[in-house]
Structure 1
Amino acid sequence: MEEQLKTLIKVWVSAIICISYCYYFPSRIKAGLPRLFSVLPICALFGLLPLFFSSIHLSGSTALFFSGVGNLKLILFCFDQGPLYPLPSNLFKFVCYTCFPVKLEQNPKSQNRFPKWLFAVKVALFGVVLHAYNYKQSLPPFLKLWLHPLHLYLELEVLLTLLKVFVTITLGCEVEPQFNEPYLATSLQDFWGSRWNLMVSSILRVGVYYPVRRVCGYLMSSDYAKLICVFATFLVSGLGHEVVFFFLTRELPTWEITLFFVLHGVCTATEMAIKRTEFARRWVVRPAVSRLLTVGFVVVTSGWLFFPQLTRSDVMERRASEILLLIDFVKTQVFHFI
């Protein structure tokens, strides 16, 4: 644990130095390919940072923060796009916006506010899920199907909410939540576009959806272009997840995760096309039914394509063990300090 923490400090110091370079030098270069060439070495380094860790969480979070979201932000910044444009007023904000999957809240009053006790319930439920791995063999198949999706969602929700609070306090400004109660999604379009991992969705929208739509707009009608853009966005997301999964498992891609996102891209595009038909306008599905169908589809397909590679490598079990070990480590340090 202590060795991994030392490595974490070294990695973050290196990353901050690299981001400082991007703030002071490439930002003064003309947007476009010249700025991109000046940033590419940093992107290459960010792509290697997760390899310095043996911890699942440190490797995975570094892959998400730097190799994935961070690199996408820097590439968009090279073309005056994304959350790093316009250039933040100071280096500290630039570092936070680059390193963390956060985005300034544009209109706080319009956001749906859920009670604070709901977060406490999620933390408690997350604790139950972590300990459920000790009884995994005796769990009924139905609960096993929900175990990994619940674990992934609750862990991301809890950790990214704590990160949101940290960034809000340090920067003195509100940032958007990463999740918007995805279990309330009434469609795949609602789930992926408005409720799940909103920072990544926002970046993919700017970096993939809009450029592809501009190109397709010259070749086909607007309706068909939207469907192609949705599929392209999911495909890129799948390939990005393959990179993250490589750092988590240290195994060659099996392309199951790409197939998962391709499947959801096709289904989401099909759903969007059906919504435009006269039949869909007449046939109104109750929200409770649509939520059950949407979440059920996500859970079943994730059990089929998303989690098998992680299950074969015991990644989810190791993630649970690391969290429990971290809690014990913190307890030991606190009691030792007292």
Structure 2
Amino acid sequence: MEYRQLGRSGLSVPVLSFGTATFAGGEQEGSWGNVQVDEARRMVDLALDAGINFFDTADIYSGGRAEKILGQAVADRRDQVLIGTKANGRTGTGRNDAGSSRHHLTRALEASLNRLDTDYVDVYYLHGFDALTPVDEVLSTLDDFVRSGKVRYIGCSNFSGWQLMKSLSVSERYGWGRYVAHQAFYSLASREFEWELMPLAVDQGVGTVVWSPLSQGRLTGKLRRNTPVPADSRLAVPGETEASGDRETLYRTVDVLDELANETGKTIPQLALNWVLSRPTVSSIIFGARNEAQFAENLGAVGWSLDADQIARLDAASALTPIYPYWHQVVNNSERLPFPTSVIVQD
């Protein structure tokens, strides 16, 4: 298993991280999965055997039950694993049961530590940006967590460019812990991350931990022209997020993935995951699995690389028309604002 640095930090993480949204019934009434304790232990075994020691969860996954199952699954080997969890989402009905206030984050961290049955979290992410809480309150709280030893590193998730840059600036101003990772939605079916957040990550040394690198099932090969969505797919669940771009762009991308599958002998999901791993700033991608077969297939995404021509074909098929000001920069200033090529991770 290849390891990379998590942004501008000393922490090495595997390029594949195992996500636990499928634990305990998942979200959307179990549509994500229904992995219970015994199967979770088995998946942790498989992950560690493959060199994957980074596990991702959140306090809102199955109302906290996913954290509890993960804690039970790693109970006798906590020193062998890295755990990342998240807070900010709503965990109760009260006014202060959501967001990134000192009040909520303090209670959320203690609750997560209790469910995970651990003294510390390796990476603690904010699941989203809280515009109602001052950034200095948020970051001073997270810095206190780090200084207390309850959190090793801090990260954020689903921030916009200005929200992340402002946060990094506040950390620098006061000498507080800074976000070393940004957990972001990025795939061949949704490439807006490249417009603002990827250049920012290159410039500021923030590692990207990608969630939904298969775009919530759109890049599994199941979604095709003139083909109904499979009933067991997350895409069939009302309320699931529609990826960016139009369906024709997605179908064109899948056509190229089909061609490459024939050329390489790899599956469409393996190709889509491998493409993400080739991108600048990507430290790790989070994959989930409902069963061992899915787990094994995802492992096949590493240990090889697409060549330059294959990457270029996927880039061309999946390209999106940028919104302003990015289209203007591409047309008029691409010489001074080229696509990011610096990679902050180390192989």
What TM-score does the superposition give when structure 1 sets the normalisation length?
0.27
Q: Choose 1 or 2 for highest CA Rg.
A: 1
Higher percent of residues as helix: 1
Q: Which has the higher contact order (CA 8 A, sep 6+)?
A: 2
Higher percent of residues as strand: 2
